Amino acid sequence: MSIDVSRFRVPEGKRVDLKKWPTKVKPFYESREHYRLLLADHVDKLAQRQDLLYAHDRYALLVIFQAMDAAGKDSVIKHVMSGINPQGCKVFSFKAPTSDDLDHDYLWRCMKVLPNRGEIGIFNRSYYEEVLVVKVHPEYLGAQRLPPGKVDKAFWERRYKTIRGFERHLARNGTMILKFFLNVSKEEQKKQFLERIDDPAKNWKFSSADVKERAHWKEYMDAYQSMIRATSAPHAPWYVVPADNKWYTRIVVAAAIIDALESLDLHYPPIDKAKLGELAASKKALLAERK
């Protein structure tokens, strides 16, 4: 089944009003079993493309997930990447910056764990927190010890510009970038929070700080809208994916990653005559061994 993910991709420079982007849509699967088969097919295709990416060893893929709490970032990574060879994939989750992080510029902690050629790197949150959480809570800038006079009216625009330049540099050097905003509704977030409180197995996922952040919902939506508009580009697109239905979210993300990898001219390394001769000789020797 072919899924058109282009309707979730934000064109470069497009004004984004998240109130007009759905958090839930009619699914393209007919039942739980159909969903499982569809996801399994996408997981298998992704595993095949990752194998090619690893063998080709010319490109890297960076996948970034941003969302409000309880939107399902962990769940998407767990299910969509379930067939990936761990040798060629690394996942990093970025929490509050450490003292070491704060002694560097805000891109540093992400730059040092970028994927190698042939690898898939997954960022659960990223340097985009610096134009989201920090924008909603500008008091956090104090801990960054920026030079005097740098935090002015043009401060956030400069950060967008820096991020655009950084991603352009990565793309020019072979890193494909896909960015997903999991668009969850405030009502669905509340439902997920209550489930975490009521289910002992999920208590560890809940933090009272998450509820406090709900009071800033509008500020966060404004920050996301500005960020997506300022940083979506053909070489580093943003996808606004409905996240109230986790099954739907997983299929869309998987389809977008597969489409991106299929757009690359990936192939296994060519084998020259000398190598073919070596393979033939090795096969002959193995077949000649006594049982």
Give a yes or no: residue 155 inside a domain: yes
Mean pLDDT of 170-185: 98
Look at residue 230 in the predicted model and tell me its pLDDT.
98
- Overall residue count recorded for the chain in this entry: 291
Tell me what pLDDT residue 291 has.
Answer: 66
The residue range of the domain holding 80 is: 6-288
* CATH code, 186: 3.40.50.300
User: Is the predicted pLDDT of residue 2 greater than 80, yes or no?
Assistant: no
Q: What is the pLDDT of residues 109-131, one digit of tens each?
A: 999 999 999 999 999 999 999 99
Edge-to-edge order in the sheet of strand 120-124 = 9-10, 238-242, 175-183, 60-67, 120-124, 89-93
Share of the chain above pLDDT 90, in %: 87
Reported pTM: 0.94
For residue 219, pLDDT over 90 is answered with: yes
Determine the straight-line distance between the first and last CA of the chain, rounded to whole angstroms. 47
What is the full DSSP assignment across the chain? -----GGGEEPTT----GGGS-S----S-SSHHHHHHHHHHHHHHHHHHHHHHHHH-S-EEEEEEEESTTS-HHHHHHHHTTTS-GGGEEEEE--SPPHHHHTS-TTHHHHTTPPPTT-EEEEES-GGGGGTHHHH-GGGGGGGTPPTT-SSTTHHHHHHHHHHHHHHHHHHTTEEEEEEEEE--HHHHHHHHHHHHH-GGGGGG--HHHHHHHTTHHHHHHHHHHHHHHH-BTTB-EEEEE-SSHHHHHHHHHHHHHHHHHTS---PPP--HHHHHHHHHHHHHHHHS--
Question: Average pLDDT of 6-22?
Answer: 95
pLDDT, tens only, 242-276: 999 999 999 999 999 999 999 999 999 988 899 99
Give me the pLDDT at residue 209, please: 87
Residue 172 lies in a domain: yes
Radius of gyration, alpha carbons of the chain: 22
Establish if 58 belongs to a structural domain.
Answer: yes
CA geometry: angle 212, 214, 219, nearest 5 deg: 115
For residue 1, pLDDT over 70 is answered with: no
Following DSSP, what letter does each residue of 26-39 receive, concatenated?
A: --S-SSHHHHHHHH
Q: What is the pLDDT of residue 252?
A: 96
| pLDDT exceeds 80 at position 161 | yes
The answer to the question of residue 134 being in a domain is yes
Supply the mean pLDDT for the chain: 95
**How many domains does the chain divide into?**
1
φ/ψ of 239, rounded to 5, equals: -115, 125
Q: Distance of CA 237 to CAs 38, 111, 167, Å?
A: 24, 19, 10
Assess if residue 1 is contained within a domain. no
